[in-house]
Structure 1
Amino acid sequence: MTEPRWLSDDQQRWWRAYLEGTARFVDALDRAHDDGVPLSLGEYHLMVQLSEAPGRTLRMSELADCLALSRSRLTHTVDRMERRGLVRREPVPGDRRGVNCVMTDAGWDLLVASAPHHVEAVRRYMVDVLTPEEFEVLGRAMAKVAREARRALG
């Protein structure tokens, strides 16, 4: 068996800082959502994806990919949101098996009302903590990591 390529002390320190920082950042955003946004962080992200799509509509499979969720997990999330009147499912025209997720007007109104609180939390816990250069480097690095993980997972 081949010897593992162990992390150097510096790499280990930065890796652990990344893990802790990510966990604490997501926890802070979740708490901010609990305090002022009537959508979970995951629901908010879903609504943003729909809001940016033509007709505020995406195929469920496309939405699952955008959110890095299993189709099963997305189905449960959409079920909850559909019961609240925030989204609805519609058949894909010309595709008997395809299903679209569509943001309702009520969903749009809730997203618009929630956005300022969400953005303020993102600024408070990340954007304003980093210099513009650090924020850009972080974004570029994570885009690279996401591409590689997406490629590896097929």
Structure 2
Amino acid sequence: MTQIPRSALILGLAGVIPFAWGALTLLVPALAAWGQATLGPRFIGPYVQLYYGAVILSFMSGVLWGFATKADGGRAATGYALSVIPALWAFFMTGGGPVSAAMNLIFGYAGLLVLDFAFWRWGLAPRWWMQLRVLLTGLVVLCLAVVVL
């Protein structure tokens, strides 16, 4: 396998920070109190995870769209159609309470990983793409699981 470029790895891991922060503020009440007093209630617990999680799923739709531009004909059309699924999933499936929204985000990120794999197999994503996506998806799912459990 090809090594993940350092900048992509660092920025990808930095993108996990809001998920990890939300999980930590659920697990450590003192941290939640500090976060609420300092940052406000929207930036702690499941609230930061769910809002940011929907934003990132939508962002990943754009990434997949970009990969689809490398394809031609029917594969391009399929790629474009598949690329909008994560954003639509985030839009329709993150309402309701925090537990159901977190569970739906977990399913959304698992589904995104399947799409990542398809685009990678089609040669539209970089060789190192799946190494990065498996790592980041695992971390995000772990953090979101704190809300569900």
Question: TM-score normalized by structure 2?
Answer: 0.27
Q: Kindly name which structure, 1 or 2, has the bigger radius of gyration based on alpha carbons.
A: 1
TM-score normalised by L of structure 1: 0.26
The higher relative CO (CA closer than 8 Å, separation ≥ 6) is in: 2
More helix by share: 2
